[in-house]
Amino acid sequence: MAARIPPLNPLFPSPPDWLLEGAEHLWLPYSQMQTTPMTLPAVKTEGVRITLADGRELIDGISSWWTAAHGYNHPRIREAVSRQLDAMPHIMLGGFAHEPAMRLAKRLADVTPGDLAHTFFSESGSVSVEIAMKMAVQYWLNQGKNGKTRFISFRGGYHGDTIGTMSVCDPEEGMHTLFKGAIPQQLLADLPVDREKEAALEAFIAGHAHETAAIVTEPLVQGAGGMVFHEPAVLAKLRALCDAHDILLIVDEIFTGFGRTGTLFACEQAGIVPDIMTLSKALTGGTLALASTTARKHVFEAFLGDDPGKALMHGPTYTGNPLACAAALASLELFEEEPRLEQARAIAAQMEEELAPAREISRVKDVRVLGALGVIEVDKLDDVNWFKQRFVEEGVWIRPFRNIIYITPPLVTGKEDLSRLTGAMLKVTREWAQRQ
């Protein structure tokens, strides 16, 4: 069979040789490889800008899938990684210790809420949630409660793409329907956003508490579910229900962690401490792959004893990679020393003002802002690729999905660049509405 040559991208009709040679062989995420055109060739990132191979610059409106909180190539993070690279790029944590992992575990214990003080490192957000789920099941097993092996999660929720994490995503959303029958069946409920749903969830939990290891939720924002917001009181309600029914609470802060919602962690706005918290994305400032699963004291202590079988049964080869840990330490220092939370709040205020006119555009259903997250929701996006192309033509990198046009810009984005992002959102949305 002849090799598949991807079609050329109209936004980049003369790709460099390395793209032409590699495009036949690289399998892209979430892409139909029969029809997907060649992706845009990026050659440099700096601050809030992505430089293409032909010299064009795009203002990044999504922080490289919500990771680049400090912008790209921040000198503090770059220097930290460079120093660590010279000394020791990697050593396994099985039998060895290294300073970056130890220091990072201590720093996370210092900055996360309450007694979230014991961290297990991995390489991706999906895996960090897998680990949290294993922690929860084994927590009960270690105490002789063998039946608590299932999870309650919520419609519209997303927690990862691995087999285990897909089981706690909304089964009717996206790709997850393809794997029905191959993934464990968990317990799906509606978020308790009103009194009726609160009562329904209370009854649901009461009927399943005996088999439930944990509730898994995203705090304040269901990200991949369509950037759907809910009040901090919802999280407080979940905490109370878990306490009442002897269930652990896992809070997935992979998207919301590190300032995106206006506080360092979204759960702070509810005044609660989850039993287990997962972090990734902005943990290293978008520099290297790293994730953490951090547990409270009582969870950690359930694994202690003379029985080797009660140890946490997980061990990625690259857990606690020194380069990634060095990047994360530098990133946390930036959150301490530079006004990231103030910047998030300033971005929120500017987006509230500049996105408001979108409410007057036909087919726009909602406009909403939470921290450094701005959303225009429409009734239906018929041609997402048209939007992507128009945004690139406007000099911005914005990727709508489902029925939302959104931005999650780096927290260091200045007023002028932010106005270019919001202006492009308004301009392109108006064009789209007029095409209908």
Task: Please give the C-alpha separations between residue 386 and each of 10, 187, 210, 402, in angstroms, as whole numbers.
Answer: 11, 37, 49, 14
Whether 318 is a known active-site residue: answer: no
Which of 148, 158, 237, 275 does the annotation list as catalytic?
A: 158
Burial of 227: CB neighbours in 10 Å, binned 0-12, 13-18, 19+: buried
Radius of gyration of the chain measured on its C-alpha atoms: 22
Of the residues 60, 170, 252, 417, which is catalytic?
Answer: 252
Where b means 16+ CB within 10 Å and e means fewer, 123-145 reads: bbbbbbbbbbbbbbbbbbbbeee
The sign one gets for the Cα dihedral 249, 127, 165, 307 is negative
CA–CA dist 295, 305 (Å, integer): 17
Question: CA 333, CA 398: separation in Å to the nearest integer?
Answer: 29
17 labelled catalytic: no
Instruction: Tell me the helices (H) and strands (E) count for the chain, helix number first.
Output: 13, 16
Sheet holding 42-46, edge to edge: 42-46, 49-52, 57-60, 396-397
Task: Work out the angle between the directed axes of helices 322-337 and 75-87 (0-180°, nearest 10).
Answer: 150
Q: How many CB atoms lie within 10 A of CB 342?
A: 12
Any catalytic annotation for residue 197? no
What is the DSSP code (8-state) at residue 178?
A: G
Concerning whether 158 is annotated as a catalytic residue, the answer is yes
Looking at 275, 281, 406, 417, which residue is catalytic?
A: 281
In the chain, the amino acid numbered 378 is V
Cα–Cα distance measured from residue 345 to residue 264, given in angstroms and rounded to the nearest whole number? 12
Which residue of the set 17, 30, 307, 380 is catalytic? 30
Catalytic positions: 30, 158, 252, 281
